[in-house]
Structure 1
Amino acid sequence: MTTFSASPLVHQPPLPALLGLSDGDDPDLWGRIRAAQLLAARHSALLLLTANLTAAALVVMLLNACVPMPWLASWGVAIGAVAVATAVRRLRSPDRAGGYADLGAMHAPVAESAALALAWGAVPVLFGPYLHVTTALAMHIVVAVLMAAYAMAMVSVPLATLTFIGATALSAAITLFITGHAAAAIVDLLFATLMCLSTFDRARALAMLHAVGVTLAERDGTIGLLLRDFDETSPDWLWQTDASRRIVAPSARFAAACGVDRDQLAERPLLEVLAGTGWDSGQVAPVLRELATRLRNREAIRDLNLPVVVAGEQRWWRIAASPRRDADGHFGGFRGVASDVTEERASAEKIARLARFDTLTGLPNRLSVNEALAEAVANAERERTRCALMMIDLDRFKAVNDTLGHPVGDRLLGKVSERLATLLAEREIVGRLGGDEFAVVVRDASDPLRVERLARAIIEALSRPYEVDQHTLYIGASVGVATSPRDGRSAETLIRSADLALYRSKDQGGGVFHAYEPQLHAQAEERRVLEMALRQALANDELSLDYQPVVDATSGALRGFEALLRWHHPGFGQIPPSKFIPIAEEARLIAPIGEWVVRTACAEAAAWPDNVRVAVNVSPEQLHNPQFVTVVAEALAESGLSARRLELEVTESVFLREGTGATRVLGDILALGVGLSLDDFGTGYSSLGYLSSTRFSSIKIDRSFVQTAAAGRVEAIAIIRAVVAMADSLDMTTTAEGVETEAELRLVQELGCRSIQGYYFGRPLPVVEARALAMRHLQTHAA
Structure 2
Amino acid sequence: MPRDIPLSVLLGLSNPEGVDWGRIRALQFNGIQQHGLLKIIAAIVCGLLTLQWGIGQINMMFLGLWFSALAMLSIYSHLWSRKKLAWQRKTVDRAETRMVNFLSLVDGLIWGAGFLLFAFEADLMTVHSLWAMMICLMVGSAMIFSAIPLSSILFISALSAALSFGWFHVGSLDLAVASLAIAVLLISACLKTGRSFIERRVSEASLNEKSEVVSLLLKEFEDTGADWLWQTDTSRRITHVSPRFAHAIGQRPEEIEGKPFLQLVAGESWESGKFSTALHELADKLKRRDSFSNMLVPVQINGESRWWELSASPKLDDSGVFHGFRGVGSDITLQRESADKISQLARFDTLTRLPNRLQMTETLGKALETAEQWNGRCGFMMIDLDRFKAVNDTLGHPVGDRLLARVSDRLRSIMTDNELCCRLGGDEFAIVIKDARDVEYIEILAQKIIDTLSQIYEIDQHPLYIGASIGTALGPRDGRTVEMLMRSADLALYRSKDQGGGVYHHYQPKLHVQAEERRVMEIALRKALENDELLLNYQPVVSADTGSVVAFEALLRWNSPKFGNVSPVKFIPIAEDARLIIPIGEWVLRTACEEAMNWPSTVKVAVNVSADQLTEPDFLETVVSALQDSGLPPHRLEIEVTESIFMREGAGAAQMLDEIIALGINLSLDDFGTGYSSLGYLRKTRFTTIKVDRSFVQGAAKNVPESLAIIRAVVAMADSLGMATTAEGAETQEEVQMIQKLGCTKIQGYYFGRPMVTEDARKLFSTFDAETLEYSRKSA
Using structure 2 for the length normalisation, give the TM-score: 0.70
C-alpha distance in 1 between matches for 2:615 and 2:769: 38
- In structure 2, the CA distance between the partners of 1:227 and 1:301, relative to structure 1 (3 Å rule), is farther
Shift of 1:341: 1.3
Residue 257 of structure 2 aligns with which residue?
Answer: 266
Q: Which one-letter code corresponds to 1:227 in the other structure?
A: E
Aligned to 1:401: 392
Secondary structure of the 1:446 match is: coil
Q: Which residue of 1 aligns with 2:654?
A: 663
Matched with 2:531 is 540
2:352–2:408 Cα contact (<8 Å) kept: yes
Q: Describe the shift of the 1:224–1:322 C-alpha distance in structure 2 as closer, same or farther (beyond 3 A).
A: farther
Partner of 2:367: 376
Give the equivalent residue in structure 1 for 2:219.
Answer: 226
Give the SS at the match of 2:294.
Answer: strand
The whole-number CA distance in structure 2 between the counterparts of 1:591 and 1:654 is 15
Superposition deviation, residue 458 in structure 1:
0.7
Deviates more, 1:408-417 or 1:320-329: 320-329
Q: Decide whether aligned partners of structure 1 residues 428 and 732 sit closer, same or farther in structure 2, where only a CA change above 3 A counts.
A: same
For 1:694, the aligned partner's letter is T
Aligned equivalents of 2:211, 2:434: Cα separation in 1: 56
2 CA distance for matches of 1:576 and 1:417? 41
Spell out, residue by residue over 1:528-571, the C-alpha distance to the aligned partner (whole angstroms, 9 max, x if none).
11111111111111111110000001111110100000011122
Amino acid at match of 2:604: R
Q: State the Cα distance separating 1:605 from its structure 2 match.
A: 0.3
The whole-number CA distance in structure 1 between the counterparts of 2:219 and 2:449 is 64
Residue 596 of structure 2 contacts residue 604 of structure 2 at CA under 8 Å; is this kept in 1?
yes
Alpha-carbon displacement from aligned partner over 1:440-476 (angstroms, at most 9, x marks no partner)? 1111111111111111111111111111111111111
Q: Secondary structure of 1:536's match?
A: helix
Show the counterpart of 2:762.
771
Cα deviation, residue 630, structure 1: 1.1
CA distance in 1, matches of 2:2, 2:505: 80
Unmatched 5+ stretches in structure 2: 4-194, 774-780
**In the alignment, what sits opposite 1:640?**
631
Match of 1:237 in 2: 228
Aligned counterpart in structure 2 of residue 435 of structure 1, from 399, 408, 426: 426
* 2:589 corresponding residue in structure 1: 598
Which shows bigger deviation, 600-609 or 290-299? 290-299
Paired position in structure 2 for 1:459: 450
Structure 1 residue identity aligned to 2:709:
A
Residue equivalent to 1:742: 733
* Partner residue, 1:196: none
- Kindly state the Cα deviation for residue 583 of structure 1 after the two structures are TM-superposed: 0.7
Secondary structure, aligned partner of 1:467:
strand
Q: Give the aligned residue type for 2:479.
A: G
Alpha-carbon deviations, 1:271-308, whole Å to 9, x = none?
22112233344432333344344445555543332111
Counterpart residue number, 1:525: 516
Amino acid corresponding to residue 229 of structure 1 in structure 2:
E
3-state SS, counterpart of residue 527 of structure 2: coil
In structure 1, give the amino acid aligned to 2:294: D
1:560 corresponds to which letter in structure 2? A
Which residue among 754, 760, 763 is the counterpart of 2:745? Answer: 754
Rounded Cα–Cα distance in structure 2 between residues aligned with 1:781 and 1:760 = 13
DSSP-derived class of the 2:435 partner: coil
Residue 608 of structure 2 is aligned to residue 608 of structure 1 = no
Contact in 2 for aligned 1:387/1:443 (Cα 8 Å): yes
Residues 626, 665 of structure 1: 8 Å contact kept: no
- 2:478 corresponds in structure 1 to 487
In 1: Cα distance, 2:771 partner to 2:713 partner:
35
Deviation, 1:216, is: 6.8
Deviation of residue 251 (structure 1)? 3.5
Match of 1:676 in 2: 667
1:255, distance to aligned residue in structure 2 (A): 2.6
Question: Is this contact kept in 1: 2:267–2:302, CA < 8 A?
Answer: no
Higher mean C-alpha displacement, 401-410 vs 260-269? 260-269
Q: Which AA in structure 1 matches 2:711? A: I
The CA distance in 2 between the partners of 1:255 and 1:563, in whole Å, is: 89
Q: 1:273 to 1:697 in 2, by over 3 A?
A: same
Letter in 2 for 1:713: V
Q: Distance in 2 between matches of 1:361 and 1:208?
A: 68
Residue type of the alignment partner of 1:691: L
Change (3 A) 1:779 1:604: farther
Go from structure 1 to structure 2 and tell me whether the alpha carbon gap of 1:525 and 1:327 turns closer, same or farther (over 3 Å shift): closer
Contact 1:624 1:660 in 2 (8 A): no
Cα distance change of structure 1 residues 585 and 778 upon mapping to structure 2, 3 Å threshold: farther
Quick check: 1:414 aligned with 2:405?
Answer: yes
Helix, strand or coil: the match of 1:567?
strand
Q: Counterpart of 1:556 in 2: which secondary structure?
A: coil
Q: Distance in 1 between matches of 2:327 and 2:478?
A: 57
**Map of 2:140 onto structure 1:** none
Please, which runs of 5 or more residues in structure 1 have no aligned partner? 4-201
Contact 1:609/1:775 (<8 A) preserved? no
Aligned to 1:388: 379
Which of the numbers 546, 556, 578 marks the counterpart of 1:555? Answer: 546
Structure 2 residue matching 1:358: 3-state secondary structure? coil
- Separation of aligned partners in 2, 1:2 and 1:397: 68
The answer to whether 1:254 aligns with 2:276 is no
Against the structure 1 CA distance between its residues 300 and 221, is the aligned structure 2 distance closer, same or farther, given a 3 Å change threshold?
A: farther
Q: Give the whole-Å Cα distance in 2 for the aligned partners of 1:283 and 1:210.
A: 54
Between the aligned partners of 1:724 and 1:289, the Cα distance in structure 2 is: 87
Distance 1:393 1:213 in 2: 67
Q: Relative to 1, partners in 2 of residues 1:447 and 1:212: Cα closer, same or farther, differing over 3 Å?
A: farther
Q: Do the aligned partners of 2:381 and 2:471 also contact (CA within 8 Å) in 1?
A: yes
Amino acid at match of 2:223: F
How far is the alpha carbon of 1:210 from its aligned partner?
10
DSSP-derived class of the 1:721 partner: helix
Aligned residues: 582
Could you give the per-residue CA deviations for residues 225-253 of structure 1, whole angstroms, max 9, x where no partner exists? 4323323xx54333333343322232343
CA RMSD, Structure 1 to Structure 2 (Å): 2.9
Following the alignment from structure 2 to structure 1, what is the Cα–Cα distance between the partners of residues 445 and 199?
A: 72
Distance 1:243 1:316, change over 3 A: same
Provide the C-alpha distance between the structure 1 equivalents of 2:282 and 2:219, rounded to a whole number of angstroms.
Answer: 24
Percent identical residues:
57
Residue 103 of structure 1 is matched in structure 2 by none
Aligned to 2:678: 687
Partner of 2:618: 627
Residues in 2 aligned to 1:203 and 1:290: alpha-carbon distance in whole angstroms:
51
Contact 2:611 2:649 in 1 (8 A): no
Find out whether 1:337 has 2:331 as its counterpart. no
User: Which residue matches 2:6?
Assistant: none
Residue 571 of structure 1 is matched in structure 2 by: 562
Q: Which amino acid aligns with 2:333?
A: T
Amino acid at match of 2:362: E
Aligned position for 1:703: 694
- Which of the pair has more CA radius of gyration? 2
Secondary structure of 2:275's counterpart equals: coil
Say whether the 8 Å CA contact 2:267–2:303 is kept in structure 1: no
Is the alpha carbon distance of 1:286 and 1:226 closer, same or farther for their aligned partners in structure 2, counting shifts above 3 Å?
Answer: farther
- Say which SS state the counterpart of residue 430 (structure 1) adopts: strand
Equivalent residue for 1:135?
Answer: none
Please give the alpha-carbon distance, in whole angstroms, between the structure 2 residues aligned to 1:324 and 1:725.
102
Q: Distance in 2 between matches of 1:507 and 1:276?
A: 63
Distance 1:780 1:460, change over 3 A: closer
Q: Secondary structure at the match of 1:661?
A: helix
Aligned mates of 2:722, 2:528 — CA distance in 1: 40
Q: Is the 8 A contact 2:641 2:669 kept in 1?
A: yes
Shift in CA distance, 591/313, structure 1 to aligned 2, threshold 3 Å: same
The amino acid that maps onto 2:222 is: D
